[in-house]
Amino acid sequence: MAKPIQTIDNLSTEFLSEALQTKVASYSCERIGTGQVGECYRIHLQYAPDETGPATAVIKLAASGALSQGSGRRLGIYKRESQFYSDIAPALEGCPAVVKCYHTAVDADNDGFHILLEDISPAVVGNDIKGASLEEARLAVQALGALQRTSSGTSHPEWLDTGIGASQTYLQTIWKAFLERYGEKVKPEHRQVVDRWLSCFDSYAAKLMAPGSKKCLIHGDYRLDNMLFRQEPVSFAVVDWQMLNLGPAFQDLGFFLGVSVPTELRREHANELIEIYHKALGPNPPFTLDQCIQGVREQAFIGLPLAFASPMILEQTARGDEMFLTMLDRMATHVLDLNAVETLPAPAAPKPLSVNPQDEASHPAGADPLHNESWYFDVADTAQGVGVWVRLGVTPNQPGSWYNALICGPGRPTVAVVDFEAPTPGADLVINCDKIKATHSPDDPLKEYRLTLIGRGESFADPAALLRGERGDPVAVHIDLTWHTTGTPYQWRIATRYEIPCTVSGSILVDNDVTTFAHAPGQRDHSWGVRDWWSFDWVWSAFHLDDGTHLHGVQVRLPTGPVGIGYIQSPTVPIAELSGVDVMEQVSPEGLPQTALIRYSSDAAEDLVLHLTPMGQAPLLSEVFGC
């Protein structure tokens, strides 16, 4: 039973017999719950003669929707919940809020995931849209205190995340996308709450996770939709442990009070509910009741991203829209009722991440078929009217790797050296085959990088011919260029990738035509990890302006809406992250970009709008080359 159940159709009597350690003769299933990133089924069980076992069980699987399933994998929530039941739940034995787990398994690389749980039917799943009754709220906060009391006496596995994983820039980008979709339904005063919190998010998170601050095992999504209530006998359980971490001690309590308790009920009974929670911590609680009340006030914000970020990475549904908007309304109202904005640090621009020089080298590959590590090199010499773009894309789990080198410019043919099944290089990044002999070497990590190529390419008078699948005239191509860093390397937050503004020197030779570069504007970047290039579109850009300004921006066009990433750095702005990248382009019927308008937004500078007309075209179509 090493492999997880992928879909409910993969369920079998053999699996159930082994998981329940008794002979299952037959079974039937019904879908239950309304989960966004997982699907739950109640299994009705029939046993072989003289065999006994539970009449029903519940199995949780990965979401069937591609977007939600992909988000579950990328965020690691399937793996984390499975590991909770295998590594942490056994130490919480005797805590009635944790449902017994019969079996769990996860295949993090292929979205496979299952958890087979005890069915506490006729328990009823809570409803966040409706909100908790007073009795449900009492049960939930009492159980939370008991959970934290029990977990405080246990050790935690090394894999358990510590802290608040999101960043100010990322959340501001997602919030902007949320407002573009739902803005008319968000009250102005609630928008102000989120704007103010996000304006200081990095400082806020650092304060909560500072040494000496109170932390504990956090469920991370402690709300009604993840709770089960039974009346006879009275019982309570919490499920959906995908977001667990070691985090701020009052996060779960503040989130539950803000999101799951209807506003009027919370206003009337909040102090009572906090007291119930505090008493459940036991005779020697780690903090006083007054500290708890103040902690809830300070941490009432933490759950806000679950309301505005979740709908932007999950499949959109009518119920989901209603639920997330309800959550946002209640939480922002909770913040205002507590006057919690007064507890926030002063607004501050986020500090960009630093790039590790060791990341210049290649990285160990995972097992995912789409694992990819790519190095990109660009140079544009407008005075000479020539641009060069080179990409080495190492795909160790595919038949071959990608190598692309293109040269273009006004009044000159586009030259392409392209191989989508090049030999996969080793750690030295050397390719040596009949068509391509290439080297890639960070001579001085983060400061200087040299690239050489001796290759056989094709020349195209019409660059659109590459997109039509036509062949060009054969040419010999030699490249020997060095990228010298001229700005601050920029580490992406939402992916393992960095960008570096450069100048480029060296030479290229196409047949007998030599072009020499002397400190021409350039850019290079390096990306590694699982990359599904076909699941969305994106627009990449980088500019070096005459006044010394360096710009880089990517508009990622996700199914849920566009997301902007990038930086601006200049003599007056050392480096600042972009809060938005908006792109509009016109493309010819043959697929060549004709014009574009790009708006770069940043809190550190005024918006910058660039109107673009390409001087050269270097298109690429992977199907042409058998990829």
Among residues 430, 431, 517, the alpha carbon closest in space to that of 480 is found at 517
Q: Residues of 298-321 as b/e, b for ≥16 C-beta within 10 angstroms?
A: bbbbbbbbbbbbbbbbbbbeeebe
d(CA 580, CA 362): 30
In the listed set 348, 383, 416, which residue is the last one of a domain according to the structure?
A: 348
**CB-based contact 617:386 (threshold 8 Å):** no
DSSP per-residue string spanning 571-604: SS-S-EE-SEEEEEEEE-TTS-EEEEEEEEEETT
Residues 527 and 550 in one domain: yes
HEC string for 437-483: EEEEEEEECCCEEEEEEEEEEEEECCCCHHHHCCCCEEEEEEEEEEE
Judge contact between 497 and 526, C-beta under 8 A.
Answer: yes
**One domain for residues 563 and 532:** yes
* Token pair of 134 as six digits: 């007073």
Report the CATH number that the domain containing residue 229 is assigned in CATH. 3.90.1200.10
* Whether residues 532 and 617 fall in one domain: yes
Which of 149 and 66 is assigned the larger pLDDT? 149
Q: pLDDT, tens digit, for every residue of 340-383?
A: 999 999 998 888 889 999 999 999 998 888 899 999 999 999 99
- Say whether pLDDT at 32 is over 90: no
Q: Measured between alpha carbons, how far is 405 from 439 in angstroms, rounded to an integer?
A: 13
Same domain for 45 and 18: yes
Instruction: Give me the mean pLDDT over the 603-609 stretch.
Output: 89
pLDDT of residue 500 exceeding 90, the answer is yes
In this prediction, residues 565-581 reach a mean pLDDT of: 91
Beta strands 371-381 and 386-394, pairing class: antiparallel
Residue-level pLDDT at 113: 85
- Extract the runs of DSSP E, i.e. beta strands, from 331-400: 371-381, 386-394
What pLDDT, on a 0 to 100 scale, did the predictor assign at position 625?
A: 36
Q: Are residues 72 and 214 in the same domain?
A: no
Whether residue 340 is found in the same domain as residue 394: no
> How many percent of the chain have pLDDT more than 70?
95
Shared domain for 386 and 528, answered yes or no, is: yes
Q: Is the pLDDT of residue 330 over 80?
A: yes
Average pLDDT over residues 46-64: 91
Binned at pLDDT 50, 70 and 90, residue 627 comes out as very low
pLDDT tier at 167 (50, 70, 90 boundaries)? Answer: confident
- Mean of the pLDDT values across residues 545-565? 88
End-of-domain residue from the set 310, 329, 348: 348
C-alpha closest to that of 329 among 267, 258, 270? 258
Number of domains in the chain: 3
337: containing domain: 124-348
627 exposure class (CB count in 10 Å sphere: 0-12, 13-18, 19+): middle
Terminal-to-terminal C-alpha distance of the chain: 35
pLDDT at residue 623 greater than cutoff 60: no
Would the pLDDT of 65 be above 70? no
Using CA atoms, how far apart are residues 530 and 111, in angstroms rounded to an integer?
Answer: 13
* Better pLDDT: 612 or 534: 612
Q: Where are the beta strands (DSSP E) in 68-225?
A: 101-107, 112-118, 124-125, 215-218
**Span of 79-93, 165-179, 195-209 with lowest mean pLDDT:** 165-179
Residue 202 and residue 86 share a domain: no
Look at 43 and 622; give whichever has higher pLDDT: 43
Mean pLDDT confidence for 331-345:
98
Q: Would you state the pLDDT for residue 164?
A: 76
Query: What is the pTM for the complete model shown?
Result: 0.76
Helices (DSSP H) in 13-165: which residue ranges?
13-20, 66-74, 77-83, 134-151
The pLDDT, as a whole number, for residue 136 is 96
Same domain? For 367 and 514 the reply is: yes
Dihedrals φ, ψ of 178, to 5°? Answer: -60, -45
Residues 390, 453: contact at Cβ < 8 Å?
yes
One-letter amino acid for residue 180 of the chain: E
**End of a domain among 121, 147, 166?**
121
| Claim to verify: residue 98 and residue 147 sit in the same structural domain | no
384 and 484 part of one domain: yes
The pLDDT mean for the chain works out to: 91
343 and 424 inside one domain: no
Q: Is 22 left (phi over 0), alpha (psi -120 to 50) or beta?
A: beta
Which range is most confident: 140-154, 425-439, 597-611? 425-439
Q: What DSSP letter does each residue of 507-553 carry, written as one string? A: EEEETTEEEEEEEEEEEEEEEEEE--TTSSEEEEEEEE-TTS-EEEE
- Give the whole-angstrom CA distance, residue 589 versus residue 594: 10
